Amino acid sequence: MAAPDISPAGAPVCVCCTEPAVVYQWTTDRHLCTTHFIADIEARVHTTIAESRQIRAGDRIAVAFSGGKDSTALLVILSRLLPVWTDVSLVAITVDEGIAGYRQDTIRVAKTLTKKLGVEHRIVSFKDLIGDDLDTILAGRESQACTVCGILRKKALMDAAKEAGATKIATGHNLDDEAQSVLMNTLRGDLPRLVRDAGKESGGCFLPRIKPLSGIYEKEIASYLFVQDLFLVLPECPYTRYALRAEVRSMLSTLEFRYPGTMQHLIESKKKIERYCAGAPVMDALRHCRECGDPCSGEICQVCRLRHSLGK
């Protein structure tokens, strides 16, 4: 670590100007002020989008907007970068799972921010999708919370995005999330999920998903919002304690602290595995659900199987 410039008051100053530094980036060994830190984050997100051509002229991007920190940062950054692209529009989609004491607060925040940014906002619910809220569905089966919620949230988001005329769905997955997914799929021995690329075109079977924040650490996202007074302390989902991801997240955070770069190394390992598997039939061919017609790998999709288990 290079010695930073010090202000007369004894505090580090930004490497790009003479303003007081608000963050230290260990990956680049730089101290940055608020202005240059914000510019750095937004430039890196733009680079991620450009390098993999995540957004193209004429796209209508459905932003999966929960109101939490990651999706808030995503919506703010995309709204600021919007003039960079030709004829690109945004629509924010919030999924109301129906979780008492949790989702009401984030929906309120989502409504406030979309109004402030002037972004179209749509809210869809599990109750509209399947007839019950998540709390009702999970009564007596709380340990299945993340699996059930994931299946229904994906369906609700996809349907809402299609109805809004979107060409792609943007999610707020950050670098930490991506590293956690690599480790989780490795622990499960799930090679298809490990190498699957949801951002590829699928011949119209489903809308491609893009992850503009995938190169940004979770702590950087929190800092990005904090220095702009956009960071809000919101309740955590009460079902998080049942998730494997919660354990993996804690373990990886500890490893990253002790061995900086661990998360990035996991992501690089995934990319190597993807290259080794290129062209190999590691995933089942897409079919269409015999009941609803949605793309799936078997005869019946996960949503329809869930409906059967609930007696719907």
Average pLDDT, the chain: 89
Instruction: Tell me: pLDDT of 26 over 80.
Output: yes
Kindly state the greatest CA–CA separation across the chain. Answer: 71
For tokens 């309740």, what's the residue?
A: 235
118: its two tokens = 């002037």
What is the CATH number for 263? 3.40.50.620
Interval 212-265: pLDDT, tens: 999 999 999 999 999 999 988 777 888 887 777 888 999 999 999 999 999 999
Q: Are 216 and 234 in a shared domain?
A: yes
Count of the separate structural domains present in the chain:
2
Q: Are 288 and 272 in a shared domain?
A: no
Give the contacts of 126 (CB within 8 A, at least 6 positions apart).
95, 96, 97, 98, 132, 133, 134, 137, 152, 153, 156
Q: How far is Cα of residue 232 from the mean position of the Cα atoms in its chain?
A: 18
Return the pLDDT at 32: 96
DSSP 27: T
Return the pLDDT at 206: 78
Q: Are 273 and 288 in a shared domain?
A: no
CA–CA separation, 280 and 4 (whole Å): 49
CA–CA separation, 78 and 63 (whole Å): 9
Q: Are 199 and 211 in contact (CB under 8 A)?
A: yes
Q: Are 262 and 299 in a shared domain?
A: no
- Tell me whether strands 30-32 and 23-25 are parallel, antiparallel or unpaired: antiparallel
- Quick count: other Cβ atoms within 10 Å of Cβ 196? 14
Instruction: Tell me: pLDDT of 274 over 70.
Output: yes
**Domain membership of residue 62 as a residue range:** 53-280
Interval 147-180: pLDDT, tens: 899 999 999 999 999 999 999 999 999 999 999 9
| Residue 43 placed within a domain | no
